Structure 1
């Protein structure tokens, strides 16, 4: 017995449903492709948001102290930030430039001294092969210096773009916040608004804690290396402070040139330098990092490590630089929007007062 054919209305409904699913899948794939293609641009936007948060925090404090209107407070804050950097470069720029030249010129002799030290203690061919590979990588980086200079030109243009965009965002953040909320469904406005507030508090707390941590690490590294007699201690301290922004990986990267330059003094100095970096990292991990987490959000260390690696693979150096604040924001948004709102679980949102 043959089955009667389906009514025309049912066939039309089936075809329409298949077409709707197909369009939805194509749209999702298209949006995903667009996000991948615009990943660098999106990271610039996030960088502008981070810088705008810094300007906003300084502007709030200036307004509180001077009772000036927000526009004047923002202008004064931006000028103050520029003056601090300009003053630092004016006072220490020549000295730091000379120290960075010392670092660059001292790396090859330091590598040679490490090779000779390995020969004396008889570590064998594998260790020397590893060192040769490292020195070849350093030589390759030096050979590509011209390409990096061209990239730096583009980087300066991006930095100007981020700086100007941050000023516009910080001038009236409520306008952009309202605009984003208007794009949300009505029932989603309250959770998204709360998530934005949580992320803003967590980001401001991270910036305050990280600024203190970077300054302390730079100062301790500078003083410690100077006491050990390591050349270019000021430049190495600045490198350590800047790289402290990169969780887990930054201190290791900062320690490599310091140990190499310490070998130009003596192997014992290199060992003391390793001990100095281990001591500073213990202080950073047991005191400074908990302070940052108290101010912002207690992100598990493994999550931060994988976030740095993933951001580097997806977005390059800019992703590594912004991995920590990006992880803080995503962590808070997941807690608020997914765990509390969608799953209905009562948890304490990181970044809340």
Structure 2
């Protein structure tokens, strides 16, 4: 073997070992990476709020500080206005769900449907408990979920205060030949996340309001708590509407079979509006993701990272999709990549 061939082989072997070691490191630090990514999402939220203060000719630091105070004030105001009502309804919802399962099982037995709903609920609780225990090993070691939320929020503040500093640090780790390409990709990732968050907030508020109106019209107990769950679960693609419907339908059946059936119809209607009207509008204003990509990403991130991965599936898909567009479609294939809120590539 010639010296040139030996050198080339050695470089390829070292590159392969580096990739394997990097993959192993990513798996080992997966939960930490999820926290970092969650901090980036929080930073995008804060930068969006800070943009309104920047237009008032305030400095970057002051704008981010006011954005943090505004976000805290919004949560505090909502808690002050609706905290007692909503917390009481969540407590009542927790008390009603076991009774709702028993009531729904009685209806199934009356209709001669051979299905053990109580056993299914028990298995679901055990599986969810197992998932949370596996995913929370790191959380417990540093003091609980509250500590992780604090870390994510503080990290988001640091990222939002000086995003150019961290962006420049990432670019300095790359060869100069790809620095410009990666800079465009990072800029599009930030823009895509910002547009998605704005659209998703509108979508969640719309779904919560529509669900609340329907539940109040049907006189379903704990309507406010169920509507908040529907709005929150709207952040989870595909699985969210199903997860939100389960407690609502059970509580509906605990009132009466007619109410339960109407509740099923309500959640089906809301899901159809969300899937065929609201979600396409959100994607059109941010990144037009293929539905199958988003579906399998939810499954993959849930398998790899547990519940936090499911919650962050949509923004992770957006970032991954944009990077593929720039680094593979654009750089390697030489085609025009799709960009956030941009025109479709002609075929």
Structure 1 residues 331, 141: CA separation in 2 closer, same or farther (over 3 Å shift)?
closer
Deviation at 1:16, TM superposition (A): 5.7
Answer yes or no: is 1:61 the counterpart of 2:52: yes
The residue that corresponds to 1:30 in the other structure is 21
Any gaps of 5 or more consecutive residues in structure 2? Answer: none
Q: Name the SS for the 1:44 alignment partner.
A: helix
Answer yes or no: is 1:162 the counterpart of 2:166: no
Contact 2:102 2:118 in 1 (8 A): no
Structure 1 residues 142, 182: CA separation in 2 closer, same or farther (over 3 Å shift)?
closer
Q: Which deviations, in whole Å up to 9, do the C-alpha atoms of 1:182-220 show, x marking residues without a partner? A: 222112111111111111111111000000000111111
The residue that corresponds to 2:235 in the other structure is 245
Q: Name the SS for the 2:294 alignment partner.
A: helix
Structure 1 residues 345, 14: CA separation in 2 closer, same or farther (over 3 Å shift)?
closer
Q: Which deviations, in whole Å up to 9, do the C-alpha atoms of 1:240-261 show, x marking residues without a partner? A: 1000000000010000000000
Q: Which deviations, in whole Å up to 9, do the C-alpha atoms of 1:59-96 show, x marking residues without a partner? A: 112211x2211111111110000011111112212211
Answer yes or no: is 1:212 the counterpart of 2:194: no
**Residues in 2 aligned to 1:190 and 1:24: alpha-carbon distance in whole angstroms:** 23
Deviates more, 1:293-302 or 1:208-217: 293-302
**Residues in 2 aligned to 1:208 and 1:96: alpha-carbon distance in whole angstroms:** 25
**Residues in 2 aligned to 1:168 and 1:327: alpha-carbon distance in whole angstroms:** 24
The residue that corresponds to 2:36 in the other structure is 45
TM-score, reference length from structure 1: 0.89
Cα RMSD (Å): 2.3
**Residues in 1 aligned to 2:63 and 2:273: alpha-carbon distance in whole angstroms:** 36
Answer yes or no: is 1:76 the counterpart of 2:62: no
Answer yes or no: is 1:303 the counterpart of 2:289: no
Answer yes or no: is 1:323 the counterpart of 2:313: yes
**Residues in 1 aligned to 2:323 and 2:308: alpha-carbon distance in whole angstroms:** 21
Deviation at 1:293, TM superposition (A): 0.7
- Say which of 112, 136, 140 aligns to 2:122: 136
Any gaps of 5 or more consecutive residues in structure 1? Answer: 1-9
Q: Which deviations, in whole Å up to 9, do the C-alpha atoms of 1:156-199 show, x marking residues without a partner? A: 11111111111111111111112222222112111111111111
Contact 2:185 2:323 in 1 (8 A): yes
**Residues in 2 aligned to 1:13 and 1:212: alpha-carbon distance in whole angstroms:** 59
Contact 1:201 1:352 in 2 (8 A): no
Q: Which deviations, in whole Å up to 9, do the C-alpha atoms of 1:126-172 show, x marking residues without a partner? A: x23xx13223236648989x978x85952211111111111111111
Deviation at 1:17, TM superposition (A): 5.7
Structure 1 residues 153, 263: CA separation in 2 closer, same or farther (over 3 Å shift)?
farther
Structure 1 residues 207, 316: CA separation in 2 closer, same or farther (over 3 Å shift)?
same
Deviation at 1:348, TM superposition (A): 3.5
Deviates more, 1:192-201 or 1:15-24: 15-24
User: Aligned residue pairs: how many?
Assistant: 338
| Structure whose alpha-carbon radius of gyration is higher | 1
Contact 2:192 2:286 in 1 (8 A): yes
Alignment of 1:157-236 (within 5 A): 157-236=147-226
Deviation at 1:313, TM superposition (A): 0.4
Alignment of 1:265-344 (within 5 A): 265-344=255-334
**Residues in 1 aligned to 2:101 and 2:329: alpha-carbon distance in whole angstroms:** 51
Deviation at 1:44, TM superposition (A): 0.7
**Residues in 2 aligned to 1:41 and 1:231: alpha-carbon distance in whole angstroms:** 39
Deviates more, 1:28-37 or 1:307-316: 28-37
